[in-house]
Structure 1
């Protein structure tokens, strides 16, 4: 389901928050009308890549132009959305600044996802509440740090004044002997001031200690709870989950807490400098407590920064953008890392180096895993090169090369190529203001293939691994003895695959059909070998995913394809429906992905449910499925043809369901270069016996020659002028009825509002 459609189901208060996102930024009407198209574009990448921003911008313009032309052809300009006005708005405001459009939509889509997360039952509400509480703690940390800064500044003024008084009074006493009798009074006053300064220092140290105590609660929450939860969401996003993987919150928390700890260390240093400079005014030794507090602050800061490096975008090849973590030897892939403590002090300070299978050589060697080196594994400096000013480095020109380190047959792995799991790490070191720490971040397990025909098995491994391997360090020997998945786990992942490819998840009926096909264990478990090996279910499912991606995205997104429904269930669903009702389902026998339609006919008191031979990808490349449905016909006796497909299950007229996708209009076409226009027609022999002739018609009045001549003329007219006659009533069929056929008005759904 489109993200916008989910937002439309929210309560009025949350919809109001969505509406505020677009105020004075972007027309909400355009967001509504182009919801699916907008969400299909990668606006996050477009926001940082001007070429990508231009591509996305022109995609919107082309779509609006197509819809405008269609509304003109259908004479529905006043009935539908103002596509022309939308196009003019985009040209006026973003023609010269497509990057601005990309940034606006990228930010708005992220905020929409946050609003959706907050509305997803108790879990979303609890998460939002938890984040709000953490925000409040971090804000309190900042506020208290500012108070400490003010107190230390006032201490500096007090010390200066006391030091001035002491030095000035001593000078005056030396010049005026008579003032010596007042010396005791002045010394007592100075002592009072010194005691006050000491008490203030102790109070400030206690304030700093309180801040560090609060930071001691926040740092583990950020590093040990929120960061692993984000990594888990990223894992699920890699295998298709629509979860939010935005780093804004984490970066805010890491940056703010790191800044507070750095500022506290600076304030402690100022206190120490004051002690040295104004030692004559200090009546107590606070050096030991300050040293302990400094050590405490340094420990917290080290823990925070050691976890601040993350793999923002997992390894992915540009040729397989929807299947990250599958890498092919010799083929370029990209990875992006980010340092979450986004402070000016760290800009250009960190050099990150990628390393493949760091610290896992022993485990992989035991099992005979292949070893790889990274080509062009140069260090990258974390610099500010993103719109939000993040400390980011993109490794965009890396590839893998296998080491030839073992003799053939020696210490061979028991696992196949697509079951080997590898890790890429990114390492760096930080030295700043007395702080030294080693920092590293790990990718999710990747599968390295040597041939494109191994992608299918590799992606199955990636899905299986990321469902089961939920924490670090990752189990790279998972497939040595792969645990089974519950049907609940697998069904969710499979549903995400269809969401990623076709913008629509599987419903409960489709999942039920898949379960019957995949699960045959009483404990509802699916074993790795049954899912992926040889003739496993995944091969068939992946063929259907590819079929949807290449030829059926629109129909799948609209819900026009029932898809996963058995032949037996098809019979049950259709037999009670009116003649001409049909449904679309995937072939269960074609492993490469194919689709068929089944329809029902009631003849002579009998019910017949028929299915056409499935259409393959090759056939759908020549003509789209909506056009096949529109032109499909059955050839009855004596060459008469008719289209048996009238209503998409349960009772939607086929033109309402598919009219917007027809590529041929009903208007007659011109003769080009002397040739008569032709069309690709799908014709089958009628599997249903024709009904008995109606009693009202006297067949003795029509000779066989007249009958043949009449039907032959009708056949020729249909073949030559079908486009012209498509909106006219069909000629009476002498085999079925002598009644006049009603003129059926074809209606077309709004191509945008129905999304």
Structure 2
């Protein structure tokens, strides 16, 4: 797997990497030429013009080869524009191949840093998290081992039953044909009885093994659905507002898939035991423990009901760093993933997005806007990504406002950018004789009608994501918005500068901001103070926009002090000699 594919697989091409490619090099060329680009030594080329020129010509030759291959394939759908990429490289770098080498060296090094940072967060987190994940790994591996043992025992039982049945039937025929064997009949019957008792005891032992597996599986399912999955959703929520956290689903997908596979295999072995009891008229056939099968299916149901997640929150391509803001009539994308990635489920799940499904505010709040999708966006989950995930990507969704607005039972004082909505992704699965209704909900989204509403909408997204930490989400949050502590707000503000300028705020900058924003001695900031009446956020957002447009390099390198009070400015000017 190339470095670029690894970044895609782990959903890391965002934030500082996304901005880097916006400024330095076309992202679509990096994507299409990932293998060729990474096969060249751009670090060395950045120091040697001859090497840089050789690497440049190697790229052009590769593009020519790919163009010729595309002509020979005669694909109906157009592929990458290799000629367009070649024209771009020739136009911008033919006379300055060293410049290309410097740019690509910087980009590839930055990618390595992002991967290393993500790996550190994932693999070298707190000792408690590490220990918890190791225990889950051990628990899942133990389930798989015990399930293999059960399968061997069930197969052994089948052979024992076959042998006993054969002896009983053939011996009876021999006795009927030869009366001289009648005196041996009692001994044979006694042997058969002993064998039947042994089979019964073995079966009871296997059933107990299955119960032990299910008891362990129950604990792991609870850990996955009640602890690990909510924690991942919280990390994703923070990542949406710039938090430098790991949102990889690798561990969860591995655990969900393994445990579901164990439960499916256990259910199959239970069916085999039941079939054996009926086939060989076992004395315990009527008392077969149906509750064990029901227990298995209940665990599987809980796992599958939680397996659908919103892998990529709704986002417009024009606002790559500000998800959860949608504009009517403008295309946006989202993606869902089914964590139980088994072959049995491939192409079996058709997912449909539904706007504001089961949202009380649509009927109880007067003036609450109603929206619909402009077309049917249903997708079938399929394995069509480099990481092999069971994913459906909704790449062409748009919203329109419904004309009818039913009146509710109370008045709404919410502004457009305070009105929270959700998108639910629903599907139905038929499996193991049961029907599963499965759904996953997006984080709250805000629907705007004008780009001028983006700053206020983003303030609402940040406030909501910091406060609404569990499901179901509180879509009436801004009817009476709770305050944030300075610790919470300072963290999310620093993330904004990290996302835009690749450097967060230091303690001095945060201290100045605190003096400007916080009036309350308890360090509490109210929503009205931040975004409504005094519009502190609009001022900060203007600074972020200035950095993004003109000052990224200077901000990243620390040449801009940023937030400095008048008093500090005077002191600094007095300390330094010069005409200014």
**TM-score if structure 1 supplies the norm length?**
0.65
Q: Compare relative contact order (CA 8 Å, sep 6+) and give the higher one, 1 or 2.
A: 2
Please tell me whether the aligned partners of residues 367 and 414 of structure 1 are also in contact (alpha carbons under 8 angstroms): no
Distance change (3 Å), C-alpha of 1:319 and 1:86: same
The 5 A counterparts of 1:138-537 are 138-279=140-281, 282=282, 284-285=283-284, 287-362=286-361, 365-406=364-405, 413-537=412-536
Please tell me whether the aligned partners of residues 41 and 56 of structure 1 are also in contact (alpha carbons under 8 angstroms): no
From the two aligned structures, give the one with the greater helix fraction: 2
Cα distance per residue 1:4-55 (max 9 Å; x no partner): xxxxxxxxxxxxxxxxxx9xx779xxxxxxx999961499xxxxx9866127
Please tell me whether the aligned partners of residues 324 and 444 of structure 2 are also in contact (alpha carbons under 8 angstroms): yes
Distance across 2 between alignment mates of 1:438 and 1:84? 58
Distance change (3 Å), C-alpha of 1:88 and 1:175: farther
* Aligned-pair CA distance for 1:383: 1.1
Cα distance per residue 1:559-607 (max 9 Å; x no partner): 1111111232122234223x3xxxxxxxxxxxxxxxxxxxx44xxxxxx
SS of 1:320 mapped into structure 2: coil
Please tell me whether the aligned partners of residues 357 and 425 of structure 1 are also in contact (alpha carbons under 8 angstroms): yes
Greater Rg over alpha carbons, structure: 1
Distance across 1 between alignment mates of 2:141 and 2:13? 38
Cα distance per residue 1:377-417 (max 9 Å; x no partner): 33211111112221111111111111122499997631110
Cα distance per residue 1:254-305 (max 9 Å; x no partner): 10111100111100111111111111xx3x3155343110010011000110
Greater Cα shift, 383-392 or 473-482:
383-392
SS of 2:215 mapped into structure 1: helix
Distance across 2 between alignment mates of 1:448 and 1:239? 17
Please tell me whether the aligned partners of residues 110 and 246 of structure 1 are also in contact (alpha carbons under 8 angstroms): no
Please tell me whether the aligned partners of residues 369 and 412 of structure 1 are also in contact (alpha carbons under 8 angstroms): no
Please tell me whether the aligned partners of residues 364 and 409 of structure 2 are also in contact (alpha carbons under 8 angstroms): no
Cα distance per residue 1:39-86 (max 9 Å; x no partner): 61499xxxxx98661277899999959x967x67xxxx89xxx87798
Indicate the residue corresponding to 2:98 in structure 1: none
Structure 2 unaligned runs (5+)?
Answer: 5-11, 21-26, 67-79, 81-103
SS of 1:40 mapped into structure 2: helix
SS of 1:561 mapped into structure 2: coil
Indicate the residue corresponding to 1:132 in structure 2: 134
Structure 1 unaligned runs (5+)?
Answer: 1-21, 28-34, 44-48, 580-599, 602-609, 611-755
Distance across 2 between alignment mates of 1:201 and 1:529? 68
Please tell me whether the aligned partners of residues 166 and 190 of structure 1 are also in contact (alpha carbons under 8 angstroms): yes
Cα distance per residue 1:198-253 (max 9 Å; x no partner): 11100000000000000010001100110000000000000000100000111011
SS of 1:522 mapped into structure 2: coil
SS of 2:559 mapped into structure 1: coil
Indicate the residue corresponding to 2:120 in structure 1: 115
Instruction: Output the aligned Cα RMSD.
Output: 3.7
Distance change (3 Å), C-alpha of 1:166 and 1:267: same
* Aligned-pair CA distance for 1:109: 5.3
Indicate the residue corresponding to 1:40 in structure 2: 17
**TM-score if structure 2 supplies the norm length?**
0.83
Distance across 2 between alignment mates of 1:323 and 1:62? 34
Indicate the residue corresponding to 2:96 in structure 1: none
Please tell me whether the aligned partners of residues 423 and 442 of structure 1 are also in contact (alpha carbons under 8 angstroms): yes
SS of 1:553 mapped into structure 2: helix
Indicate the residue corresponding to 1:3 in structure 2: none
Please tell me whether the aligned partners of residues 352 and 378 of structure 2 are also in contact (alpha carbons under 8 angstroms): yes
Distance across 1 between alignment mates of 2:318 and 2:218? 45
Distance across 2 between alignment mates of 1:208 and 1:426? 35
Distance across 1 between alignment mates of 2:345 and 2:37? 39
Distance across 1 between alignment mates of 2:145 and 2:503? 46
* Aligned-pair CA distance for 1:171: 1.8
SS of 2:289 mapped into structure 1: helix
Please tell me whether the aligned partners of residues 368 and 411 of structure 1 are also in contact (alpha carbons under 8 angstroms): no
How many correspondences in the alignment?
Answer: 531
Distance change (3 Å), C-alpha of 1:106 and 1:182: farther
* Aligned-pair CA distance for 1:125: 1.9
Distance across 1 between alignment mates of 2:113 and 2:163? 54
